[in-house]
């Protein structure tokens, strides 16, 4: 199943790096969410993408959005990744890739978890999807542009 722009974002609950549980429904009618799926903590591409989100985090907050990253890594791995790169947003652990599958986030070369970003408005509707393994900063730039257009 693959979701598309205009669909309601599927709800989920996953463990975060700080041992809390985060549900998408917690943000509904409060703020937009930029949800990015990435392959693996502390790898070159994922570090570049996460640091690009970090560097623009205050701009996302000013645009009324929360940034949330999701990968199959453990909460402990996320905790180390957040500390090492001073990431100010939440990373969620999707063991078994259940939420990735729910969203239809692609895989690269048939086996590497893909890099896909979803911009979800306050009502829980998907407004934009960006799927690119190599355009790390594009995930940030295109998400910000979408949020600014929604404002």
Alpha carbon 56 to its chain's center? 14
Q: Cα separation of 18 and 78, whole Å? A: 9
**Residues, the chain:** 151
Q: Among this protein's residues, is 46 annotated catalytic?
A: yes
Catalytic residue among 22, 33, 35, 46: 46
Cα separations in angstroms, 71 against 7, 40, 63, 135 = 22, 6, 24, 18
Active centre residues (catalytic)? 46
């Amino acid at each position: 199943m693959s979701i598309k722009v205009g669909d309601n974002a599927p709800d989920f609950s996953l463990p975060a790096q700080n041992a809390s549980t985060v549900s998408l429904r917690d943000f509904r009618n409060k703020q937009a969410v930029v949800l990015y799926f990435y392959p693996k903590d502390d790898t070159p591409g994922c570090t570049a993408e996460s640091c690009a989100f970090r560097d623009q985090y205050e701009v996302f907050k000013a645009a009324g959005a929360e940034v949330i990253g999701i990968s199959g890594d453990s909460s402990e791995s996320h905790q180390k990744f957040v500390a090492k790169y001073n990431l100010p947003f939440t990373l969620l652990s999707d063991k078994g890739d259940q939420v990735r599958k729910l969203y239809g986030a692609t895989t690269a070369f048939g086996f590497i978890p893909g890099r896909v970003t979803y911009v979800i408005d306050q009502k829980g509707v998907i407004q934009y999807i960006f799927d690119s393994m190599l355009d790390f900063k594009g995930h940030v730039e295109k998400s910000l542009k979408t949020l600014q257009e929604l404002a």
